[in-house]
Amino acid sequence: MADDPVRVAAVGLGRWAKVLADAIKRSDRLRIVNCFSRSEKSREAFAQQYGCRTAKSYEELLDDAEVEGLIITTPNDAHAEPILKAAEKRKDVYVDKPLAHRLADAVAIDRACREAGIVLCVGHSARRLKGNRKIKEIMNQDALGKLVMAECNFSNDRSLELTPDKWRWYREKSPGGPLIQLAVHHTDTLHYLFGPAKNVTCMAKRLYTPAEIEDVTMTIVEMESGQLCYIGSNWASQGTFFTYVYGMDANLYFTVDFNFWSSSDVVDRHSQLEIQHRGSSEHKPIALESGDMFREQLEEFGDCIRNRKQPEVGGPEAIAALAVIDAALRSAESGHTVAIKEVMEG
C-alpha cells in the first residue's frame, strides 16, 4: 500500500487539468482514478484520455473511498466551495494557484483545511523552475553581495482572445487580470527569494483588451528586508517570463521561453541563467539542471498525503502571495501605496 501510487481525482477538466494530468502520467508515484466536471462531455473525454472513471456529481467523487487526494483546477472564483467541501470529507487537496480570487476566501480555505487536518498544496510552481532554485542557492552563498533589487515579468497576449463566455473576461472573477493570473507567480517567487513583502504600489490600465479586466500592470513591492522589487505583467504582448536579481557584487538574469511554459518536462531546457560580476560587462551562462516542476510538485503532494507532511507551498505561503496581489489591486484603485499589514488585517 505504502509503495502503491497515490490515487487522485481531477476536479475541473479544462486545459490546465490536462497539463497536470500529463505531468501525473510522467510519474510512477501518482495515478488518476476518478474525475468530475459539470459537463458530461468533458468527463467522458477526460476519462477516455487518462484511463479513469467518472463521477456524476462532486458529492459522488468525495464519497469515493479509493480517492486519496483531489487535483482542483476550477476557475479562480470556484476554488473555495470544492475545497471547503473536501475539508468536510477529510480529502487532501492540491489546487492550482491562486488559492482563491479573494484574500478573504483564501484565509477561510486555509483555516478550514488546518482545522480538518488535511493537506493543502497550492500550485505555485514557478519557484521550482531550476533557474529560480539556482538563484536561491547563489543568494544563500552571498555570491551577489548585499542584495539591492529584483525585476520580474510574466506576460502574454491571452486577453486579446477573451470573449464574454470566458470567466477571465470579468473583473469579479479575475480581479486585476494578469495580476492575479500571472504576476502572482512572481509574488510567490519573491517571497521565496527575499522573504515577506511590506508595502505595495501598483498601476493598472485597460489598454487593448475588450474584456472588463485591466491588461497592463506594473507593481513595486518593498520587501521587509528593504529591497525594492518590480513586477511587470500584461495580457497584451508576446509571452515573456524573467527574473533578474541585482546585488552589489553581481547580477543574475534568468529568462524562460514562454512557448514551453506548459511543458514542464522540457521548460528548463529552454531557460537560461546568466551572471554579471561587478566591473565586467560579460554575462556568463550558468548551467541549469533539467527538472519537471509540475510533476515534482504533484509528487510532493502525494508524499504529503502518505506521510502527513506539510508541502513547501501550502495555505500560509499562498496567502502571502495573494496578499501582495490584493494590496496591488487596492493601490491601483486608490493611487496610494498599500501596506501588507493593512490588507491582512482586513
Beta-carbon contacts of 192 under 8 Å, excluding residues fewer than 6 positions away, are 127, 132, 136
Question: To which residue does cell 519537471 refer?
Answer: 292
Gap between the Cα atoms of 346 and 328, Å rounded: 14
Q: Residue 3: its pLDDT value, please?
A: 80
Q: Strand order of the sheet with strand 120-123?
A: 53-54, 30-36, 6-11, 69-72, 92-96, 120-123
Kindly report, residue by residue over 218-247, the tens digit of the pLDDT.
999 999 999 999 999 999 999 999 999 999
d(CA 49, CA 27): 16
* Banded model confidence at residue 49, pLDDT cuts 50, 70, 90: very high
pLDDT at position 47, please?
97
CA separation for the pair 207, 204 (Å, rounded): 9
Tell me the average pLDDT of the chain.
96
- For the domain 126-292+324-340, what is the CATH superfamily, name and number? Dihydrodipicolinate Reductase; domain 2 (3.30.360.10)
Question: What integer pLDDT is reported at residue 154 of this predicted model?
Answer: 97
pTM above 0.75, yes or no: yes
Helices marked H in the chain: 15-25, 40-50, 58-62, 80-88, 103-116, 130-140, 178, 184-194, 293-307, 315-334, 340-344
The answer as to CATH 1.10.1040.50 being correct for domain 6-125+295-312 is no
* pLDDT at residue 300, rounded to an integer: 98
33-42, 89-98, 145-154, 166-175: segment of lowest average pLDDT: 166-175
pLDDT tens readout for residues 119-154 = 999 999 999 999 999 999 999 999 999 999 999 999
Beta strands at 92-96 and 69-72: parallel, antiparallel or unpaired: parallel
Mean pLDDT within 200-227: 96
Query: Is the pLDDT score of 258 beyond 90?
Result: yes
Instruction: Write down the domain spans for the chain.
Output: 6-125+295-312, 126-292+324-340
DSSP label at 5? P
**Coil/strand/helix, residue 341:** helix
Domains 6-125+295-312 and 126-292+324-340 share a fold: no
Residue 181's pLDDT is 94
Share of the chain above pLDDT 90, in %: 94
